[in-house]
Structures are given as structure tokens and as C-alpha cells.
Chain A
Amino acid sequence: MSRIIITVVGKDTVGIIAKVCTYLAENRVNILDISQTIIQEFFNMIMVADPSGSDLGFAQISDDLRVLGEEIGVVINCQREEIFESMHRI
């Protein structure tokens, strides 16, 4: 499977990155890049990840992360990288 982009947006709180990374590590999803900023107390994280070593499919990872986001109180979205590549690269 191709790379996925995980975006996390919400109110900043302790341990957001830790919880997301723990989930990814437990399911053998490799993190290739993380960028993170806080804009007006809002936490914005964009992660590029490679799920090819994971036993889980895209739909499962996406659903799990959405539920995890609800637990932490942030919105977590998963999208395949191609949507960004096709729109921003010629």
C-alpha cells in the first residue's frame, strides 16, 4: 500500500503525539516524517507514514485513528498520499 498522510488537529494537550505514535508503533506503521505546529493554542500535526509493514488495511487504520482522536479530543484524519501529490505536483 502507498504512503498515508495523517493529520491531527485539535486543542493542545499533553501526550497527543505519544498516543498516536504508540498506536502506529504497535501496528507496525512506519513514521517517515512529522511536522507539528501550534497555532493559537490549536495543535496541528501532519505525519507521513508507511503502512506497508502493517497487517492492518487502510480502512482499519483510518477507523482506529478516528476513534483514538475522539478519545484524546482531537480530529485525526487519514488520507492516501496520492490526493496531495496529484493536486500539487505536475
Chain B
Amino acid sequence: MITPFEVIETNQMIGQEKLDVRTITMGISLLDCIDHDPGRLNRKIYDKITRLARDLVETGDEIAKEFGIPVVNKRISVTPIGLIGAAALKTPAEFAETARTLDRAAREVGVNFIGGYSALVSKGMTPAERNLILSLPEALSTTERVCASVNVGSTRTGIDMDAVMMMGEAVKLTAEATKNQECLGCAKLVVFCNAPDDNPFMAGAFHGVTEGDAVINVGVSGPGVVKRALEKVHGQDFEVLCETVKKTAFKVTRAGQLVAHEAARRLGVPFGIVDLSLAPTPAVGDSVAEILEEMGLDSVGAPGTTLALALLNDQVKKGGVMASSYVGGLSGAFIPVSEDHGMIEAVEKGLLTIEKLEAMTCVCSVGLDMIAIPGSTSAETIAGIIADEAAIGMINQKTTAVRVIPAIGKEVGDHVVFGGLLGAAPVMPVNQASCAEFVRRGGRIPAPIHSFKN
């Protein structure tokens, strides 16, 4: 029988420490929607998404009520549109129309984001994938809920530097196209290296071609729970610190596993994975930076930050892997600047720089995330930032990503304010030396030596 202590602990985690299931994401394969006619393609896409995801939001809300744990977001990911649209869509404008179709489908079923307006071009790109990349500014400025991602490199294939340069330009143009909405388009655009096929978190979610027809992936969160647990072992040695994170991650992930199974059963769709990421929100007490500071740092960004994040990431994985039968996605700690009030404060005090964040991305689960940079930053410099992150991912066999927001018309010291879960970001300084000649060489970077394992 469950003891009163256990009931109280769980409800305290949910009520006061902001434990939640961050997202139930339904992955939907669109491979069977492929058609040579753009109108028919869009109709099939709309019909399949609205048919499979019709009950997604309601089911998520029911589960939340029955278990008493909030299910914050209900979302959809689809097969990369760069593949699905290849036969029918011959221009960037035609691709953007399919993005608007995804937007309409998302609106119809009531999900707040739909991911998979994506291209996987780690070795090279088809004309369709080139058109999708060229369509990004229009697609992201004429839709509300569509999220886009482009995978430009992997450990097995190397890095497509032509794609990196194109993405530098796409990020800049998307910022221009959405400058009246605080350059919001760039908050929905991720550039990956080693993108996972089953990530449930936006903006980088897509339904990989290795997946089945439909799948339920769940992302759990709970930085506040980890922080509160660490407060109780304040000042104790690293063994105790690591054990505490691990045990807490176990409990958090078990809640996610339960919700994932329930959602899969009720929707009649197979369960895929639980992604056990610590994803902050702008709320106080829901911050990854606060965890690192509770470990003993004055501020995130101080020397020691990289190790603190590394051990957090590692212990979260160790606890989570035991708790769920299938762990996947990104699984680790997220460090999005705009979505974490502790990160924002550190940037504003000058204690956290892009260079330190880059070091942190070597040991955490994603990359340079939700960082505002001056609007005057050139496409080449953005491409250089993307290239550096891709290099870290490629060499270290991990996922890395870049989601930067060139704040058009703003300079260091200004802010961009998105509101909601996306938060607000102070514009951060970027190294002013040019990398234009380097990133414009063209071609691709060969796969690293440790990829030859066959």
C-alpha cells in the first residue's frame, strides 16, 4: 500500500516544485500521403493528421486530471516535409503552402505546435530540400504553429557546409520576415547535427523515416524537483549530490512512462519513447540554472559550470534509463537562455557568454538554444556559429543544435520578448571577427575518423 509520505512527496513535486509532463507528442508518418499533385498532397496530409490526432488534446487533458499531473503541451511531429514534398512541390512557394496546410491541421486538432517542416541534408540535398530551406522565411512568417528543423551534419556523414551557409542565410531572412513579431520565426527554427528521429520536444521534433505509422513520445520535465531535492543535501559531497539527482530523475521519468503508456493505450497508437529532459520554463523555480547554482556556483557561467552541467546531464540519464523501458529523444538538460530566468540574469550581469554556452553544449543534451544576437550579425557569422556547434556534435557523437534569434533593429543590451513558454531574451554580443571566407568555401566536411566502425 502507498504510504502517506509517498503521496505527500508526489503531490509536493507536482504542486510546489512544478513537476509536469512537458509534452505528449504524436509522431505521424506522412509517407503514404506522397502524391505528384500539390493540391492532393496537401489534402491527404491535412486529412491524415486531423484523423489520427483528433482526440490527442482531449486524451492528454483526461490523463492530467486522473493522475493529477499537468500535461502542459500536446503536439504533433510529422515525417520531414523535404521528403514528403519531393514529388509534388517544385518551388519554395509551393513548399510554403504545405507549411500552411500543416498549420491548419494543427489548429483544427488544437495542438500548439507541429514539427517536421524539416530537411535532412547532412551529406547533400535534393532540389526539394533546397526549396524547403529557401521557403523557410515565408513558411515561418505565414504560419503560427509550424516548427522547422534542418539537419546539416552527422557523425556518420560529416557536415554539408553548403547547407550550413544556406541556413545562416535562412535564419537571417526568417528574422527579417518576422521582425514585427520580435523575430519569432527564428524561435521555431532549429539547425541540428545528429538530429534524433524520435525527439518529442519543439522546435526540433520530426517523425523520422525509421519510425512506424504513428507513435506516442512523451517528454517529461522537472528542474524544480531536482533543485528542491538538492537543497536537502546542501554542502554534502559529490557522491551524495549525484545519487540525489539520479533518484529524482528516476521518479520524474516514471511519471512520464506512466503517462506515455496511458496516452498510447487510449489513443490506440504504439508507445515510442520517453524523453527525460530537464526543460526549464521562464517561471521562478523551474530553472536549470538554479540547479547549477544550488550545487554551489554563484551564478551559471562561473568556472565549474561545465562540470556541474555534465554531472547533472549524466545523472539524469542514469536515473531515467532505469525508470523507462524505452528512453530516446534528446534526454538530458536543456539550456535555452530565453526560457530560463537564471540564465537570463547571468547574461544580464555579464557572467554568461555565448562562448561559455558553447562549452556547455559539449556536455548537455542540445546546443545554443534561444539566444538572441544583434540583428546586424551577418549570415556568414550565423553560419559560423552553426558550423561550430555541428563540429561539436559530429566529433563527440552527440546531438547539437542552434536556435539563435538575430534581433532585427536591436543591439546588445536590448531584449526580445516572446512571452509564454518561449520567454524573453537579452541580446548577447557575438565575436566580431569575420569567418566569411571560411564558411563560403562550399562543399562538405568528410566524416570523422571514428565514424568508420564497420
Interfacial residues, chain A to chain B (CB-CB below 8 A): 5, 7, 32-33, 35, 37, 44, 46, 48, 58-59, 62, 77-88
Contact check, A46 vs B7: say whether CB atoms are below 8 A apart. Answer: yes
Q: How far is the CA of A7 from the CA of B6 in the complex (A)?
A: 12
Contact check, B66 vs A79: say whether CB atoms are below 8 A apart. Answer: yes
In the complex with contacts A5-B7, A46-B7, A84-B2 CB distance below 8 A: yes
Q: How far is the CA of A21 from the CA of B6 in the complex (A)?
A: 22
Other A-B pairs, 11, CB within 8 Å; known A33-B1, A80-B67, A87-B251 = A7-B11, A32-B1, A46-B7, A58-B66, A59-B65, A79-B68, A83-B69, A84-B6, A87-B10, A88-B6, A88-B251
Q: How far is the CA of A7 from the CA of B12 in the complex (A)?
A: 12
Report chain A residues within 8 Å CB of B65. 59, 62
How many Å from the CB of B56 to the closest CB on chain A? 18
Q: How far is the CA of A19 from the CA of B338 in the complex (A)?
A: 48
Report chain B residues within 8 Å CB of A44. 4, 8
How many Å from the CB of B224 to the closest CB on chain A? 15
In the complex with contacts A86-B255, A86-B257, A87-B10, A80-B66 CB distance below 8 A: yes
Pick 19 A–B contacts, CB within 8 A, sort by A: A7-B11, A35-B4, A37-B4, A46-B4, A48-B2, A62-B65, A77-B68, A78-B68, A79-B67, A79-B68, A82-B67, A82-B258, A83-B255, A84-B10, A86-B254, A87-B10, A87-B255, A88-B2, A88-B251
Report chain B residues within 8 Å CB of A35. 4
Chain B residues 1 to 19 lying within 8 A of chain A, measured CB to CB, are 1-2, 4, 6-11
Residue in A closest to B259 when the chains form the complex, CB atoms: A83
How many Å from the CB of B91 to the closest CB on chain A? 50
Report chain A residues within 8 Å CB of B66. 58-59, 62, 79-80
Q: How far is the CA of A33 from the CA of B69 in the complex (A)?
A: 23
Of A37, A62, A79, A87, most buried by chain B (CB within 10 Å of CB) is: A87
Q: Which 5 A-B pairs have the closest CB atoms?
A: A79-B68, A83-B67, A86-B258, A86-B254, A88-B6
In the complex with contacts A7-B7, A46-B7, A48-B2, A87-B68 CB distance below 8 A: no
Report chain B residues within 8 Å CB of A84. 2, 6-7, 10
Contact check, A83 vs B68: say whether CB atoms are below 8 A apart. Answer: yes
Chain B residues 233 to 258 lying within 8 A of chain A, measured CB to CB, are 251, 254-255, 257-258
Q: How far is the CA of A1 from the CA of B254 in the complex (A)?
A: 21
Report chain A residues within 8 Å CB of B62. 59
Q: Which of A78, A80, A87 contacts B254 (CB 8 A)?
A: A87
Residue in A closest to B256 when the chains form the complex, CB atoms: A86
How many Å from the CB of B319 to the closest CB on chain A? 12
Contact check, A77 vs B11: say whether CB atoms are below 8 A apart. Answer: yes
Q: How far is the CA of A34 from the CA of B10 in the complex (A)?
A: 18
Report chain B residues within 8 Å CB of A33. 1
B254-274 near A? 1/0 per residue, CB < 8 Å: 110110000000000000000
Residue in B closest to A88 when the chains form the complex, CB atoms: B6
Q: How far is the CA of A66 from the CA of B354 in the complex (A)?
A: 49
Q: How far is the CA of A82 from the CA of B262 in the complex (A)?
A: 11
Q: How far is the CA of A86 from the CA of B151 in the complex (A)?
A: 36
Q: How far is the CA of A71 from the CA of B255 in the complex (A)?
A: 31
Report chain A residues within 8 Å CB of B4. 35, 37, 44, 46
B417-428 near A? 1/0 per residue, CB < 8 Å: 000000000000
Report chain A residues within 8 Å CB of B67. 79-80, 82-83
Residue in B closest to A9 when the chains form the complex, CB atoms: B11
How many Å from the CB of A26 to the closest CB on chain B? 22
Contact check, B2 vs A85: say whether CB atoms are below 8 A apart. Answer: yes
How many Å from the CB of A66 to the closest CB on chain B? 10
Chain B residues 60 to 109 lying within 8 A of chain A, measured CB to CB, are 62, 65-69
Q: How far is the CA of A48 from the CA of B4 in the complex (A)?
A: 10
Residue in A closest to B2 when the chains form the complex, CB atoms: A84
Report chain A residues within 8 Å CB of B69. 83
Q: How far is the CA of A88 from the CA of B9 in the complex (A)?
A: 10
Q: How far is the CA of A80 from the CA of B65 in the complex (A)?
A: 9
Q: How far is the CA of A79 from the CA of B258 in the complex (A)?
A: 13
Report chain B residues within 8 Å CB of A48. 1-2
How many Å from the CB of B181 to the closest CB on chain A? 39
